[in-house]
Amino acid sequence: MAWTIDSHRYYGTSEVCSMVGISKDTFLRWVRTGLMEDVKHRDRHGWRLFTDDDLCRLKAKVNHINIISH
């Protein structure tokens, strides 16, 4: 479920991870290990708030393919 705050749409961590097909644990590991930059917005409880841009960035990370040349 998305929230609208001050005319901006935000999503929760579990929702965004489900939308891109990864687990919440995977996202949190990527942030912890520096593979993914954390979101910049938090609610009053400290929970992550994902913008549409954050969602696009995560989708790009999930769909990234490394090409290894021999």
Q: Label residues 9-29 b or e (16+ Cβ within 10 Å = b).
A: ebbbeeebbeebebeeeebee
* Structural domain that includes position 8: 3-62
pLDDT at 5: 84
CATH (domain of 45): 1.10.1660.10
Tell me the pLDDT band of 66, cut-offs 50, 70 and 90.
Answer: confident
Mean pLDDT throughout 26-44? 96
Q: Is the Cα torsion angle 46, 51, 57, 59 positive or negative in sign?
A: positive
67 within domain boundaries: no
70: its two tokens: 């021999």
pLDDT in tens, 1-27: 788 888 899 999 999 999 999 999 999
pLDDT in tens, 45-59: 999 999 999 999 999
42 within domain boundaries: yes
Cα(48)–Cα(6) distance, integer angstroms: 16
Closest CA to 3 of 20, 15, 17: 15
pLDDT at 61: 94
